[in-house]
Chain A
Amino acid sequence: MRFALAWSSLRRHTTRTLLATLGVAVAAAMLLDMVMMSTGMRESFRELLLSRGFQLRLAPKGTLPFDTDATIKNTSGILTILRTNPAITTVSPVLGGTIQIPRGNRVVTSSALGINPLVQGDYELLAGKDPLADDAIVGNDDFLKATGARIGDTLDIASGYDPELRTYAASRKMVLTGRVRFLYGAADQLATAMRLGTLQQLSGTEHANDASLFMIRIRNDSEVEGVRRWTERMIPGVSGISTATALVQVDQRLSYFRQLAVILGSVSLFVGFLLVTTLVTVSVNERIGEITVMRALGVSRSHIVQQIVMEATALMITGSIAGLGLGLATGHYLNAILSSFPGLPVAINFFLFQPSSAWTALGLLALSGIAAGVYPSFRAASLPIATTLRQDAIA
């Protein structure tokens, strides 16, 4: 009966209820987006880092992977050291560089990764084959588009461009064997991958045994921190970056978005709360006579409170459910904007949907709905019956 009464009083002013539901829906959508953003980008980055099972990365001391042009010398020596640790199951060395591909009268510049194709964790093969041979190269869609090349084509690959002399330090012919998607690639970035040795050769004698990064798989997650400390002790000049430390770095760099999420999320929640409180207060004021009569008939205070809180919560929950769809749509749109963030992997989802995000948003809104109904309901249920009826009759 209480539910029927709550429902019927919401239906009494359809336009008003619809507008309030719409208002709550927009606030809920914003709240959901902000909850998704506050946890999503961190979770998405964590998933990305662990997507190929590499829990530890070694980068030149004091830098993040590919944050600078600095490299780690003596790759083969480091590999030998790393293989002595039984907790380490896989090591994937990676060298970053830039290559040029002359195409007619223009030169296409692309980033290149030197990898071990058997244990690489940088790309996903979409078509063709991995670059197993020394003269094999794979590229992403942007690279294929910019060069107009197809799988099987032979390309002139050069590196070490000297702008003064307009010459290259090294060049060779390579066969495009595959189309790939780079896991850590930024938006619109032209990227390729080849064997580590090939890129080291192309980069010149100075970088013949260099790597930018070592990606390491460890037997057990519990051993990651121990191995990290061990690598820093055994290999001077490198920083061991575990998923946890990388997340701390990301948190620092993207703290603005997290704070923005908290502020806008709180504002959305408050706006939703304010809207429902206002609406329910006005609605209760309009029905003060009816509510007092219910009290006179013997309806208890708690049941009056329950009925009004139910109205507020119903408004909030209906709006929130509508807001869920709206929030997913706006989240998708906002994510598309932030995915073009320079220097960030395009695979990072700023607005990662997790059921827990939806539950958190819904829970917060339901709580604020209850809070929104509490004040007007207590006020209405506490009015003196005789006096209120007299005043209502006079009105």
Chain B
Amino acid sequence: MTTIEDVHRSDVRRGTPSAAVVEARNLGRDYKFGEESIHALKGVTFDVGEKDYVAVVGPSGCGKSTLLNLLGVVDSPSQGTVRIRGHDVGSMRDREATSFRLHNIGFVFQRFYLMPTLSALENIELPMAEAGKKKGERVARGRELLAYVGLGHRERHRPSQLSGGEQQRVAIARALANNPAILLADEPTGELDAKTGGEVISLFERLNGDGTTIIVVTHDEVLARAAHRRIHMRDGSIVDE
């Protein structure tokens, strides 16, 4: 079995060394709908350490996904700061944020979002190609990652030829392509049945065991229980940990 140490050959992280991978301080996010202002996130403060495995749980509309978007640098906070590996990501401009995501964040989505016209291997190659890696290097790493998620024999298959669980495992492999500092997952088991969901949960546990920092937003009790820490949210705030 390939381990994450094999996969993380070059674990070069950018930014100032810090004990916490993620530092969120007094985070807030407001949305305006006409005259009305909605506070999706209010005064959220927490840290995520190296090799941590955190589950963010709470009812729908509590601000979990908003928090994940801020941590994933796809959105900017209205108040407070987010630092990832020492970088203040909340104030980054689009170009900088895009580059940061490419090299430091791995995303896993509920609906997998694999490119339907590309094979499993090509899907994993995509972030590496964007990072300017050469074809040979991309293919080698893509195969290692596919082997890691147990899909070494499915590299030429298109998403439509894979099951939901397999698609999500390819999506996880894609998220790991550029050795990210953290893996962010938004309801990764939301579209899967219990069995395939269980496979994804096991994969997360193995990944974390091999050193990957994971933050997962979920309604899935089994997945939440698998995490080392659980952050409970309600109405945009952390209510319990």
Contact = CB atoms under 8 A, between A and B. Distances in A.
Interface stretch (B97-105, B161-169, B227-235): B97-105
B92 interface: no
A301 B94 contact: yes
B118 A298 contact: no
Contacts of A296: 72, 74, 101, 107
Given A8-B117, A386-B74, A303 B111 contact: no
A300 B109 contact: no
A294 B69 contact: no
Interface in A1-37: 1-2, 4-5, 8-9, 11-12
Contacts of B75: 384-386
A289 B100 CA distance: 21
Point out which of B98, B105, B127, B129 has the most chain A C-beta atoms below 10 A from its C-beta.
Answer: B98
Given A1-B126, A386-B69, A297 B117 contact: no
A90 to B, nearest CB: 67
A57 interface: no
Interface string B125-136: 111011100000
Contacts of A2: 129
Contacts of A293: 107, 109, 113
Interface in A293-347: 293-301, 303
Contacts of B116: 12, 290
Main SS at interface, chain B: helix
B98 A298 contact: yes
B98 A300 contact: yes
A299 B74 contact: no
Contacts of B109: 293, 389
A125 B175 CA distance: 78
A393 interface: yes
Interface string A90-132: 0000000000000000000000000000000000000000000
A298 B74 CA distance: 10
Given A385-B74, A385-B75, A386-B69, A299 B117 contact: no
Contacts of B72: 296
How big is the B interface, by class?
Answer: 20 to 34
B195 interface: no
A5 B126 CA distance: 9
How big is the A interface, by class?
Answer: 20 to 34
B98 A290 contact: no
Interface string B68-82: 010010110000000
B99 A298 contact: yes
Contacts of B130: 1, 297-300, 303
B115 interface: yes
Contacts of A1: 122, 125-126, 129-130
Contact of B118 (A5, A295, A384, A389): A5
Interface of B: 65-66, 69, 72, 74-75, 94-95, 98-103, 105, 107, 109-111, 113, 115-118, 122, 125-127, 129-131, 174-175, 178
The 7 closest A-B pairs by CB, nearest first: A298-B102, A8-B117, A1-B129, A385-B74, A293-B113, A386-B69, A298-B101
Interface of A: 1-2, 4-5, 8-9, 11-12, 289-290, 293-301, 303, 384-386, 389-390, 393
25 contacts: A1-B122, A1-B126, A5-B115, A8-B115, A11-B117, A12-B117, A290-B113, A293-B113, A296-B101, A297-B130, A297-B175, A298-B100, A298-B127, A298-B131, A298-B178, A299-B98, A299-B102, A300-B98, A300-B130, A301-B95, A303-B130, A386-B69, A389-B109, A390-B65, A393-B110
